Each structure stands twice: as structure tokens, then as C-alpha cells.
Amino acid sequence: MIKVLHYLNQFFAGIGGEEEAGHDVVFLPRAVGVGAEIEKALKAHGVEFATIACGDNYFHEAEGTALQVIRASIDQFHPDIFIAGPAFNAGRYGIACAKVCSWVRDNWQIPAITALHENNPGTQEIGRYVFVIQTGASTASMAETLKRVVLLMEKLIAGDDSGAANFRAEYCLPIPRRFTVRTDKADYVRAVELLLAKLRGQPYESEIPRVESEQHAIPNLTLGLKDSTIALVTEGGLVPKGNPDRLESSRGSRYFKYSIDGRDGLERGEFEAMHTGYDTSTVDQDPDRIVPLDAMRVLEKEQRFKKLHDHYFVTTGTGAMPSKMAELGSGIADELAGAGINAVLLTAT
Amino acid sequence: MELSLLDYSIDEIQWGERTTLRGKSLTLSVAELAELLGDLSHGIHIDYELVRPGESKRIVHVLDTVLPIAKLSGSGTTFPGFNDCAKLVGTGKTARLKNLLVTVAGRFPQFESLTPIEKPREGIIDMAGIGAPYCYGSDYFHLVLTLSPDPSVSNAAFDQALRMMSLRCASFLAEVAKTDSEPEKRLIALRAVNHDLPKVALIYQVQSQLCCSRTFYYGEEISKTLPTCVHPAEFFDGAVVSGNFKSERKIPTSLHCDSPFITELLDRHGESLNFLGVILSRGYNDSFEQKKKQGLWVARLARNLGADGVVAFMEGTGNGTVDFMQTVKACEDEGIKTAAVLHESNGPKGYERPLVDHPKEADGMISRGNVSEKIYIPPLATVIGGKELDLHLKAKHDPHLPFLFDPTIYFGSYSKMGSSGFRAEYEN
Amino acid sequence: MVLITCLSNVAAQVGVGRILSGNKFHYPVGQPELPAPEELRWRVALIEKALASLETVVKEPKVF
């Protein structure tokens, strides 16, 4: 008996439309909606279906809790294969499908299948080995997509690895990401061989691509500095002594803001730096060495600019993934823009 | 200058009354070890364990591994700068137990009072299973010294003690009485060769910043020295010792004295290349200007040696990558071709920029793999060295339970991933 | 936005518009070797330079 667990959002599970997007996770011991069609097509193989239904907004807002409930269901149901969607071009649904599939594949090493349109933002959340069947932009391609889901599942049920690999090449979205593979030559051998090729004028291939960062338009001040409000931001991990919000000392998962209202400088003993990437003992002696409040106050009094924002923002950058830091940066930018801040002075270590 | 190595290997290890090597069978005496280390282990309780390749054992809180080496003749003693007054090494004869490690495990007594940058990182050695190709040491025999310091011992004293104990123990084991044991002989020398062969130097960039993240050359912290030329034979005699506890990215002391990069270049010396020697440099310089200078000085040394090309690798990650790339750039700017080895941090889902810094001059990169990719890690039968894993200060984990983590939990993984042949590639 | 960092080359690679080289990465806006009043004077001068960069129109990454 092959067990299949199927993740659907509130709409495809028949719970409701957008008004039910906040619905929490439900486990149903049967196939539902399109899952029932897949189950029917696989009847000859003897599959047992169960369904996880989760509101798109709920997953986005309470991902940790949602995954906990799904974990309990998996530990009870013991699926052999996991499917999510199809989500076509639905963004929140696609991201949820991608995240859950990746998490299931990582933690249980069972095949995980989803189906997305190439523009679905969920394609940026796909982990290794997940199958992402390419779909059209809307449910108009549902029938064809379900046929392909069934085709893939038949290969997986039969243990046909090369068939599954061929399927991936033919029907899955090409989403190139960099993962570890094992070669039969050690790095020191390949390095000497590459160098000798270079020295002999022979062709050689650099194994690590130089990835250009996306360049953004650089904003310029629209009003004079004298009329501008400036905020201080740092990635140096400086927090009030005692680290009340438990900022991590590497790979900050969140940013925090702390009041500097009424302060002319940052006093030793009132702040500490949580950061494994630099020797924090010097800034612990005088925290203005990482968040230059005292200097900013001098220049504020001289009216070099209009006002210093009453909070500074902080996270810890060392070891972090750029995409996570971009997310935190967006959050900080949104808050600052909302508070009427015109410019930022950011310190990094 | 030439050094003769006498390489003994073992296929068996057990406890007994006297420490002795008979054929390939090594017997160790706890009483003799305890007496050997008595004056160094004040306030530190030592548990001794034996571990063999392939056993379902997980060693945790690994701080360092040391290869048993001892001089039989020639100037100085192995691990110069720690046991004796200054003398140059790399000549005469040195005995080695090639496939045994003295492995030190434990936690600093006042761990919480170390600043974040000083805190040692968790490092585990899985002797079998999925983790074995990622952990340095998984294919060696181990004498594990698990250290439990009293709260009265200071961090500085513990740091010194663990180093002195492991070095002394390693020398002692290499000097053990040997019966019916035939060593393999190997000569470490840079004899004159055909001058048409391309001249190649090795750039060896270590991490040395402050307590718990430092590397020593003849007992001096490398952060306090200039980059310099080192003869390969000095490495084999233990001239470079690790005091770096950034586990996954450190070069263990045993790897400093048995570098596969040096061995590969020695093996090819006279055949496909003319190996000029090693340039020892240091990453994590404090400012961008200092990083640039380090690069320029290393390139100047390479030019002075007459190098046509260099193979380069580094210990560490993060801002140490900038020193490394400045070095690669400076060499290329001097017309010295480079092949540079580095790990990639592509993120758990493979989307992130591979490298912190990647100037266009670094066009001959060799990859060690994606070190931020998650691996499902099942438990092994036995855990040695501690009761809980420190998941890099974020959480604790019971080492008897499975967990999902990236290779940064494995001791010496960046070096080991390289020597295991891992690399990263685009995959759909 | 102006970024004060020691790793100005990395900042330029990721497209940061205004970059100021700070002091050592352990204290980008500090000079602990100086007595406190002189350190403050140095810091004010550095931040003044940062503010001046905000007033400069920039089209691509520039190290000030």
C-alpha cells in the first residue's frame, strides 16, 4: 500500500475562498478535490491518500506552527510520497507548496512533488530534489498537469529512478541552483591540474561562477540634508545589555529597534554587541564605535540635518544568507519609510 | 635541506599494560598516559577512549587532532616553539604514526565569559555513516582525550593545557618502542629539477586573530608575523600548530603537518612542475587596506621566488575571503597565474551568491562544495566527548537523535569536503 | 543611504551606492587608540563625510 499525503490550500480543499485564507491546518484521512482524481488514476497501484489543508495566509503568518502540525500528521500517517498543489501562478499558494515540499524532502527523504508556473514566486523557495512540474498560468492546464503528476507517481511507485530522472528533464521546470556533488578527484588534484592547464595555455574551467548581483537604482535625496530626518542602522549586533530580545550572535533571524531618545551617546555597560564576526570587546567599551550616536548628536545640534530618528535598528549579519538579510533590510526600510525617514547611515563590521 | 620520514601505520589499537607497537598492533597504557600528562592536567580530568575507522561512533566537542610525530635525528624537536628553545626543523629523520590521531575533545571551563568571536564552535567526527566523508578524521584511528576542567581553571590555562597535552602525547606515541614494524620511507626534499618545468608555489593562508582562533608558526602567533616562505619539510615536523577552534573551517594541527596540497606538489616535483615551496600568510586582517597589503606582500614573495603560478587555499571564511581574493588578484596582477580553492555558501536551497567576494581576476576557482546545504544526520551508536551538541550557540541537541544540519557541524569539514572530492554544481 | 564599512570592495560588488571606508572591522566608526575627546572629534569628521556623501548625486557604487 503506497501512502500519499497531499497538501492543498483552503480553496482547493473545498473549505472556502479568500475569506478562508486564514484557516489553520487540518488533516483529512482521505483524498480531496484534485487529490481524488489522482487517487482514481492510480487505483491499480493501491494507493492510500490523506490530505493536509491549510489557508494560504495562515501558512504565511504562522509557518512554524503549521509545520509542527504537519510534522505530527506525517509522523502518524507515514507517507511514502508527498504532493502539494498544483498551484499554477498563485503566489502565496505556490510559496507554501514549495516550502512544505522542500521541508518534507529534507526531513523525511521521501519524494516531494509540486506543480508551478515558471513565474510563480514559489520557484525561489524550492529545495534540492523536489519535483516541480511545469504548468500553464491557470487551472486551464489542470487536466494535463494531473496527468503528469500521475505519470511521475507511477515511476516513483515502480522505483524507476532513471524514468523519474527523464521525467524531470522533460516535464519539470529547470530551476538551476548550486548543490554539492561528489567527484572522484580531490580539490588539491584539480587545483594543480587547473593551474598547469592555465600555464600551458590550454583551456580550463573555473568551477565557481562569478555571480553578478542585481543592481538597484540608487536613490538620491529629494530634499536638502538640513530638512532631512536620518536613522542609524547597524549589522553589528549591538543590543541593550542582557540582549532582551535574544538577537543571535550570527545569522540574525530578525531585526530589532531600540530607543536612543534623550541619549547623547551610548554608555558602556548599557549595551553589548552580539556578533561572532568581530572582536566585540572594543565596542563594548564604547558602543558609539559601532553606532555613532555621539557624533550624530553633535552634528544634529549644529543643524547639519534636521533630526535623528529616535530608534536605531540592528541585526547580526555574520554568516547570514544574503536573501535573508535582503528580507530584513526590506522590513527596516518599510518601517523607516513609514516613519518619514529620508536617509540612513548604516554601519557594518 | 631534506627530511626523511619513517611512516608507521597501525591496523589495530587496544589498551594494555605497556605502550608499545608490535607489527601494526598498537597497545596503549592508560597509566603511562596519565603519568605523561600529570603535570599538564592540573584541575583537568581526562577520559581516554580508543576509536577505530568504521566504528559507529560520534566524537563531539572536538577541539584539535594531532598526528604522532617525533624526531629521531636532525635539528630541533617536532612542534618547535612549544617544548623547547627555538631551533629550525625539517632535516634529519622523523618517525610518524601515519593513521593515528591524538584527538582532544571538551568545553572551555568559562565558556560563557568568552566573547562571541572567541567562542569555540561545535565540531563532531562521525566515524561511519553519512557524515564520514564530511568529517576530517573519520578514516583514522583515534586516541581521544576528553577533557573536563574544574570551574577553577581559567580559559587561558585550559587553552594552553589542551595544546601542550596533545602535542606531548603525540610526540610520546611516535617515540613508542617498535617491534617487527616496518615503516614506509619517504624523502621530503626539493631537489633541483629541469628548469623548463613551470615554477609553482603554494599559498597557504591560515586564520589567526585572537585567543581560540589562532595559528602558530614555531610557537608564534601568525597574526604577529609577516607572510613568509616555508620549506615543506618544516610542515611535516609540526612547525605550524593550530590554536583555532572554529571547528568546521579550521585546519587541524594534524592536517598542517600532513597537507595533501604539499604532498601533491611534492609528488609532481620534477615531473610536471618545479615546486618552489610554501608561502605562509594570514587572513582576517583588520582593515581592507591591510588585506590589500597582505595580498601585495604575498604576490611579491611569489614573484621573488620566481613563481609562474600558484595554487592557493585558505583556512576560514567570511572576511578572510577578502584577504584571500586580494592575494589572488595581486598575483594575477603580477602575471602569476592562480588556481584558488574555496568552499561555496550557496544557501540551503542553492540560490545564494557562492562567494562573499569574487573579483574578476579569480578566474581559476576550484570548489569544495556548498557548505550551507542541509544534510539529514542520523545518530550513531556511541557518543564520546560530551552529552549535548551545541548547534552553534542557537540551540542544544541530543547527539543520540537525528537532526538536519549543514556540514558546518562537522570537524574540519571544509578541508575534508575538498579532499573527499566534493564540489558544487548547478542542478535543476 | 550611506554604508560605513571596512569591506568597501564587497559593498561595491553588491551595488551599494554610497560607501565610506570605516576603520578596522572591529570598530568601523571607532579609533580606540585616541583619547576620548580626540576619538569623538575623529568620529564627527567621519560622520560629516558620510553626511556629505548623502548630499552627492550618485548613479553607481562610489567609495567616498
Q: What's the confidence (pLDDT) of residue A212?
A: 86
Whether A181 and B424 lie within 8 Å, measured CB to CB: yes
What's the gap in Å between the CA of C27 and the closest CA on chain A?
A: 5
Record the cell numbers describing residue B278, joined without a space. Answer: 610554501
Confidence of residue C42 (pLDDT cuts 50, 70, 90): very high
What's the gap in Å between the CA of C14 and the closest CA on chain A?
A: 5
What is the Cα–Cα distance from A9 to B94, expressed in whole angstroms? 68
β-pair partners for B215: B242
Q: Is the ipTM, as predicted for this complex, more than 0.90?
A: yes
DSSP notation for B38-107: GGG-TTEEEEEEEE-TT-SEEE-SEEEEE--EEEEESSS-SSTTTSSS----S-EEEEEETTEEEEEEE-
A247: CB partners within 8 A, 6+ apart: A237, A239, A254, A256, A274, A314, A315, A316
C12 touches chain B (CB under 8 A): no
Q: What's the confidence (pLDDT) of residue B360?
A: 96
Whether A283 and C30 lie within 8 Å, measured CB to CB: yes
Q: What's the confidence (pLDDT) of residue B85?
A: 76
SS3 track for chain A: CEEEEEEEECCCCCCCCHHHCCCCCEEECCCCCHHHHHHHHCHHHCEEEEEEEECHHHHHHCHHHHHHHHHHHHHHHCCCEEEEEEEECCHHHHHHHHHHHHHHHHHHCCCEEEEECCCCHHHHHCCCCCEEEECCCCHHHHHHHHHHHHHHHHHHHCCCHHHHHHHHHHHECCCCEEEEEECCCCHHHHHHHHHHHHHCCCCCCCCCCCCCCCCCCCCCCCCCHHHCEEEEEECECEEECCCCCCCCCCCCCCCEEEECCCCCCCCECCEEECCCCCCCHHHHHCHHHCCCHHHHHHHHHCCCCCEEEEEEEECECCCCCHHHHHHHHHHHHHHHHHCCCCEEEEECC
Q: What's the confidence (pLDDT) of residue A326?
A: 94
Q: What's the confidence (pLDDT) of residue A270?
A: 97
Average pLDDT for A119-124: 97
Whether C47 and A218 lie within 8 Å, measured CB to CB: no
Helix (H, G, I), strand (E, B), or coil: what is residue B185? strand
Confidence of residue A154 (pLDDT cuts 50, 70, 90): very high
Q: What's the confidence (pLDDT) of residue B166?
A: 98
C4 touches chain A (CB under 8 A): yes
Whether C26 and A286 lie within 8 Å, measured CB to CB: no
Q: What's the confidence (pLDDT) of residue B83?
A: 75
Confidence of residue C62 (pLDDT cuts 50, 70, 90): very high
Whether B349 and A128 lie within 8 Å, measured CB to CB: yes
Task: Please report all neighbours of B, defined by 3+ CB atom pairs within 8 A.
Answer: A, C
The nearest alpha carbon in chain B to A177 belongs to B350
Whether B116 and A106 lie within 8 Å, measured CB to CB: no
Helical spans, DSSP H, in B258-311: 260-268, 288-305
C63 touches chain B (CB under 8 A): no
Q: What's the confidence (pLDDT) of residue B169?
A: 98
What is the Cα–Cα distance from B263 to B59, expressed in whole angstroms? 28
A288 touches chain B (CB under 8 A): no
- The candidate with the shortest Cα–Cα distance to A235, out of B322, C11, B405, B317, is C11
What's the gap in Å between the CA of C21 and the closest CA on chain A?
A: 10
Confidence of residue C30 (pLDDT cuts 50, 70, 90): very high
pLDDT digits (tens, 9 = 90+) for A196-228: 999 999 999 999 999 988 888 999 999 999 999
Instruction: Indicate the residue of C10, C13, C25 with minimum beta-carbon distance to B287.
Output: C25
Record the cell numbers describing residue B63, joined without a space. Answer: 577541539
Instruction: Indicate the residue of A230, A283, A292 with minimum beta-carbon distance to C43.
Output: A292
pLDDT digits (tens, 9 = 90+) for B118-147: 999 999 999 999 999 999 999 999 999 999
Reply yes or no on whether the pLDDT at A31 is more than 90. yes
Whether A299 and C40 lie within 8 Å, measured CB to CB: no
- The candidate with the shortest Cα–Cα distance to B314, out of B266, B375, B357, is B357
A130 touches chain B (CB under 8 A): no
A106 touches chain B (CB under 8 A): yes
pLDDT digits (tens, 9 = 90+) for A277-296: 999 999 999 999 999 999 99
C21 touches chain A (CB under 8 A): no
The rounded Cα A23 to chain-centroid distance in angstroms is 22
A182 touches chain B (CB under 8 A): yes
Are the CB atoms for A315 and A256 separated by under 8 Å? yes
What's the gap in Å between the CA of C61 and the closest CA on chain A?
A: 8
Whether A343 and C5 lie within 8 Å, measured CB to CB: no
The nearest alpha carbon in chain C to B320 belongs to C7
Per CB-CB distance under 8 Å, the chain C contacts of A332 are none
Whether B287 and C9 lie within 8 Å, measured CB to CB: no
The stretches in chain B having pLDDT less than 70 are: none
Whether C51 and A220 lie within 8 Å, measured CB to CB: no
Q: What's the confidence (pLDDT) of residue A201?
A: 97
Q: Which run of H or of E encompasses B414?
A: helix B413-419
